[in-house]
Amino acid sequence: MRENLHRFFRAARGAGVHVSPAESIDAMRAVKQVGFSDRAILRDALLLTLAKSQDEKLALGDSFDLFFSQPELREDPPEPDNDDASQDSDQSPSSGSASEAGEGQPAEALGPLAQMLLSQDRNAIAAAIANAAGAASLSDIRYSTQRGIFSSRILDAMGLQRLRDELDELTVTSPALAERLRAALDALREAVRDTVSQGLALYAREEAENLRNEILRNAPLARIERRQVAEMRALIRQIARRLRERYSKPRKRQRRGHLDVRRTLRRNAAWGGVPFLTAWKRKHRDRPKIVALCDVSGSVAQVSDFFLLLIHSLHEVVDDVRSFAFSSHLIEVSEILEENSPEAAMAEIMSKVGFGSSDYGSSLVDFEKEFMSTLTPQTTVIVLGDARSNNLDPRADILRRISERSKRLVWLNPEGRLAWGFGDSEMPRYATFCSVVRQCATAHQLERAVSDIVATYQ
């Protein structure tokens, strides 16, 4: 049964529920308490210990139902099916498949598989399949292309080779019996195929999901299909969360330095210098200051969705971020991002300045006019955009002034390097004033870029 539980954990992981070793131990302890006899209570116990949210509960419940509908889990194979035969002595311990010898079939000389097929004991056959599936480690199945391999492995484990030889013999000696066997074998093949498909449904999802995520991480943001957008969002949010976890906590911890003796003494003067309250020296650190300028014009509409999502997470990681969005003119969006959920904020920003044709020149003018004073020598400026300005004056001179006023100017461009400078792309002219210019077309690159930016403040 433990083996089965482990297999279920694997199936649960396949369903997208994270089951860590610690959780599987808890689940096993819980199962030990409630036992296996009551399926409903077992289900509750597993759901309680493994699932961490209502969604996970639903997914896990589905896997549970699918998993326990398999014959695989009826019982630990060998003993129960043979109880009826009540002759343990003549059981060969090797296969565990029940050979119903008492039926008095014409061919006693046949192998166990043939006898089982002829006896048509469906329970025994199901148990034998389950056993063979275990032997062939069906739970390792990952891709749908492996179905054939696993089917034949299972059949081999059940003794197909011997059956084939016997079939050849029987065709000569007893054609009628051979015919029966052949029909039974076909049915067996079908049953095995079903078992493998079910196994695939149970165990392969995890791998498929990882694969899909991996592909998605490296897919160009601009070319994501509609149906993938939701998944991509989830992925970006994952990235954002990871960034937040990695960068937001240690900063607080590391801020406390040595004991500040002078301040401690002064603070405790009232108690005659008995140090009740301690004062600590704080390590001096650059105040993280980030100013993000995000292009939300029509040409980068789809990418800017993700850019905004990332800026939103930046707001959570770094204290002092100011964000601006622009297409033909520029507005500050810090407040919108801070006060709303990512989706609501993005919708609001898009409705205010989104989808226009981009005009980098006038947007930069807007920025210089109103917000130039926000830049200090500690500021990192991030520009997210494709630098395509519809052949309008790019006003690279403003970018130069921005660069001069700030510590760093990072430009993240969703287009590949090859496209820079062609058509209305002003990238080469802007690039001269940037400290870093990066292509940033996939989720992976986006993560790397933002991670680097935030890391410099740690």
Partner 1 sequence: MAEQKASTSIEAVESGLAAQGYIASRQIATAVYLSQQIEKPILVEGPAGVGKTELAKAIAAWRGMKMIRLQCYEGLDEAKALYEWKYAKQLLYTQILKDKLGEVLGGAQTLHAALDQLHDFGDVFFSKEFVEPRPLLQALEQPGGCVLLIDEIDKSDAEFESLLLEILSDFQVTIPELGTVSAITPPTVILTSNSERDLGDALKRRCLHLHIGFPEQRLEERIVESRVPGISQTLRRQMVGFIHEIRSLDLKKLPSVSETIDWARVLVLLQASELDTDIVKDTLNVLLKYEADIEAASPQVTTFIAKAARSNVFG
Of 11, 12, 15, 51, the one binding partner 1 by CB under 8 A: 51
Question: What's at 104, amino acid-wise?
Answer: G
Distance in angstroms (rounded) separating the CA atoms of residues 334 and 201: 45
Torsion angle of the four alpha carbons 316, 319, 325, 330, in this order, in degrees rounded to the nearest 10: 160
Residue 422 DSSP code: S
Q: Per rule CB under 8 A, is residue 54 in the interface with partner 1?
A: yes
- Kindly state the smallest distance separating residue 72's Cβ from partner 1, in Å: 25
Q: Per rule CB under 8 A, is residue 194 in the interface with partner 1?
A: no
Residue nearer to partner 1 on the CB measure, 49 or 299: 49
The tokens describing 272, both together, are 């005659």
Q: Per rule CB under 8 A, is residue 271 in the interface with partner 1?
A: yes
- Kindly state the smallest distance separating residue 317's Cβ from partner 1, in Å: 13
Phi and psi at 435, nearest 5°, equal -75, -40
- Mark residue 423 as left, alpha or beta (left: phi above 0; alpha: psi -120 to 50; beta: remaining): left
Could you tell me which stretch among 38-46, 287-295, 415-423, 448-456 binds partner 1 (CB under 8 A)? 38-46
Q: Exposed e or buried b for every residue in 347-372, given b needs 16+ CB within 10 A?
A: ebbbeebbeeebbbbbbbbbbbeebe
- Kindly state the smallest distance separating residue 18's Cβ from partner 1, in Å: 8
412 near 390, Cβ under 8 Å?
no
Phi and psi at 107, nearest 5°, equal -110, 90
Could you tell me which stretch among 16-24, 205-213, 335-343, 362-370 binds partner 1 (CB under 8 A)? 16-24
Q: Per rule CB under 8 A, is residue 255 in the interface with partner 1?
A: no
The tokens describing 321, both together, are 């971020």
Residue nearer to partner 1 on the CB measure, 24 or 363: 24
* Subset of 276-305 contacting partner 1 (CB under 8 A): 276
Q: How far is CA 433 from CA 65, 85, 184, 256, in A?
A: 61, 87, 77, 37
- Kindly state the smallest distance separating residue 29's Cβ from partner 1, in Å: 5
Q: Per rule CB under 8 A, is residue 48 in the interface with partner 1?
A: yes
Of 12, 45, 158, 219, the one binding partner 1 by CB under 8 A: 45
27 near 21, Cβ under 8 Å?
no
- Kindly state the smallest distance separating residue 68's Cβ from partner 1, in Å: 17
* Subset of 420-439 contacting partner 1 (CB under 8 A): none
Q: How far is CA 244 from CA 268, 306, 315, 333, in A?
A: 38, 17, 10, 20
Q: Per rule CB under 8 A, is residue 20 in the interface with partner 1?
A: yes
Those residues with Cβ within 8 angstroms of residue 343's Cβ, 6 or more apart along the chain or in another chain: none
- Kindly state the smallest distance separating residue 207's Cβ from partner 1, in Å: 22
Residue 289 DSSP code: E
Q: Per rule CB under 8 A, is residue 269 in the interface with partner 1?
A: no
Residue nearer to partner 1 on the CB measure, 54 or 391: 54
Binding-site residue total for partner 1 (CB under 8 A)? 24
Q: Per rule CB under 8 A, is residue 52 in the interface with partner 1?
A: yes
Q: Per rule CB under 8 A, is residue 34 in the interface with partner 1?
A: yes
Q: Per rule CB under 8 A, is residue 57 in the interface with partner 1?
A: yes
Q: Per rule CB under 8 A, is residue 44 in the interface with partner 1?
A: yes
Phi and psi at 331, nearest 5°, equal -130, 160
Contact footprint for partner 1 (CB under 8 A): 18, 20, 22-23, 26, 29-30, 33-34, 40-41, 44-45, 47-49, 51-54, 57, 271, 274, 276
